[in-house]
Amino acid sequence: MSSVGSRGCLRTQSSSGLRHVPAVLCASRLTASTPTAQVGRSAPFHGQQLVSRPRLAQRLSSRSRSAMSQTVASAAAAGGPIDGTVAKVAGPEAATPLVTAGFIGMWYALNVGFNLQNKTLFNYFPYPWTVSAVHVVVGLAYCVVAYAVGAKKASFGRKVTWAEFLRLAPPASMHALGHIAANLSFAAVAISLTHTVKTLEPVFSATLSKLILGTNTPLPVCATLVPIMAGVSLASAAELSFSWMGFTTAMISNLTFGFRAVLSKQ
């Protein structure tokens, strides 16, 4: 004669007394909450074996690891190996924001270092056209090396076709002209004034976006540009190192970078 004990274990009555059957294990609380277990409560017990707690935990853990691996793999496929690596540490949902914040922080840090070294160089070597040409040549050199060793696969994954290369030429040209104009401004005035004037770049981007792409900038966004324009006017009027050469070249840099942004979007 067999019966189910208070803990859900199958017990049998033998001549030597009541004993537990070692082949049939106790069910875990988790299995008791599953639909299969709930159906089993109302149905008669026909000798089926219940899944043990360690085995069930092992199965669930295996499924969780598999699901996590698939999610991390999806993140890596969507955002590249950097996102996939971060997803393994911080989780898939936090990977993209963390990578984006990291790139923004890296850009600011490198930009600050570049501007300080650039201005120091101009104090001893006031030839911004030559410095700009050296910047382009050095940038071209390490980009060619990075392309040759396959580092481009970290973000793009394939070769750029000639048709794509020709479409990249217009925004790249605007970037080069804007970089030269910014260097001319750095050489003529203080770094602080150049960067203050260059905060007007969103104004140019919004205007050109409307003229070229036909995209309307929301009114609240346009309203935030008004204090920027007022601040640039006040800073330029009170700047001791102000010169029209520095101001004009900074504005040209804004215009060309605005074209760069719109053409890149296009």
Tell me what pLDDT residue 131 has: 93
Q: What is the 3-state secondary structure (H, E, C) of 78-125?
A: HHCHHHHHHHHHHCHHHHHHHHHHHHHHHHHHHHHHHHHHHHHHHHHC
Q: Write the single-letter amino acid at 116.
A: L
Tell me what pLDDT residue 174 has: 95
Instruction: Note down pLDDT in tens along the chain; length 266 residues.
Output: 545 554 444 454 544 454 444 444 444 444 444 444 444 444 444 444 444 555 655 665 666 555 555 554 554 555 567 777 888 887 888 888 888 899 999 999 998 898 889 888 998 898 999 999 999 899 889 888 887 887 766 666 677 788 888 898 999 999 999 999 999 999 998 888 888 898 899 999 999 999 999 888 899 988 999 998 888 888 888 887 888 999 999 999 999 999 999 999 88
- Contact at 8 Å (CB) between 153 and 94? no
Which alpha helices (H) appear in 189-243, and where do they start and end? Answer: 191-198, 201-208, 219-238
Residues 6+ apart with CB under 8 A from 245: 184, 185, 188, 189
By C-alpha distance, which of 256, 148, 241 is closest to 188? 241
Tell me what pLDDT residue 162 has: 87
